[in-house]
Amino acid sequence: MTPEKARSAPLLHTARLTLRELRISDAQAIFSLLSDHETVRYWGHELLGDVAEAETLIRTDLESMAAGHCIYWAIEDDVTGNPIGTCTLFKFDDRNRRAEVGYILNRNYWRRGLMTEVMAAMIAYAFDSLGLHRLEADTDPNNAASNALLEKFGFRREGFFRERWWVHGKWLDSDMWGLLQSEYRARQDSP
């Protein structure tokens, strides 16, 4: 495997959002996001207990990015300037030119098409700027909205893993999804 290199989160813009690097000053917004049970129902982590945990999480994420393991963005609402979610490219495999996508959005912003904008920007960056060959996603099979979003962008469900994650006091199953750069290009070229 090639040596990992520091990664940065370049500014990405959509019609209504800015994707920018996470900041320690985002701790309150991240706490609000990751302490809401409904928002994290399908998230693979336990609820945050306080703002200090959010600060620690952001520091860990920034260290992981500096080590080359991931790219974390805050999703910022262009109208208010407030962070309303996060998205990431992580589990980079430089030799095989692949990474996994992750995303979460404050539930007050659900059902507005915002995550469609986020995914379009993140996927384009992954394939066009980073030159990745493959993107992967790991979702809860019951998360219909997330699974529909992946299908919308051409991801294919490639596998199902029973009781893969222990979260929120129970075992959760996992759907595995994949999207190849060639599939992405074909969709871009089609009318």
- H/E stretch holding 28 reads helix 27-34
Q: pLDDT tens digit string along 127-148?
A: 999 999 999 999 999 999 999 9
Q: pLDDT tens digit string along 23-52?
A: 999 999 999 999 998 888 888 777 899 999
Burial class (CB in 10 A: 0-12, 13-18, 19+), 80: exposed
What distance in Å separates the CA atoms of residue 102 and residue 86, rounded to the nearest whole number?
8
Instruction: Indicate if the pLDDT at residue 4 is higher than 70.
Output: no
Residue 2 lies inside a defined structural domain of this protein? no
Residue 49 lies inside a defined structural domain of this protein? yes
Please report which confidence band the pLDDT of residue 122 belongs to, taking 50, 70 and 90 as the band edges: very high
Q: Which domain range does residue 128 map to?
A: 12-189
Residue 138 lies inside a defined structural domain of this protein? yes
Residue 4 lies inside a defined structural domain of this protein? no
Residue 30 lies inside a defined structural domain of this protein? yes
| Domain CATH code at residue 163 | 3.40.630.30
Instruction: Indicate if the pLDDT at residue 1 is higher than 50.
Output: no
pTM of structure: 0.91
What distance in Å separates the CA atoms of residue 46 and residue 34, rounded to the nearest whole number?
8
Total domains, the chain: 1
Query: What order of strands is seen across the sheet that includes strand 17-21?
Result: 12-13, 17-21, 70-77, 83-93, 98-105, 134-139, 170-180, 156-167
Reading phi first (left if > 0) and then psi (alpha if -120 to 50, else beta), residue 55 is in alpha
Residue 118 lies inside a defined structural domain of this protein? yes
Residue 1 lies inside a defined structural domain of this protein? no
Q: pLDDT tens digit string along 140-181?
A: 999 999 999 999 999 999 999 999 988 878 898 999 999 999
- Quote the mean pLDDT of the chain: 92
Residue 128 lies inside a defined structural domain of this protein? yes
Instruction: Indicate if the pLDDT at residue 100 is higher than 80.
Output: yes
pLDDT at 3: 39
**Closest C-alpha among 112, 118, 105, 120 to residue 179:** 120
- What tokens does 105 get? 């959005």
Q: Where are the beta strands (DSSP E) in 68-191?
A: 70-77, 83-93, 98-105, 134-139, 156-167, 170-180
Please report which confidence band the pLDDT of residue 5 belongs to, taking 50, 70 and 90 as the band edges: low
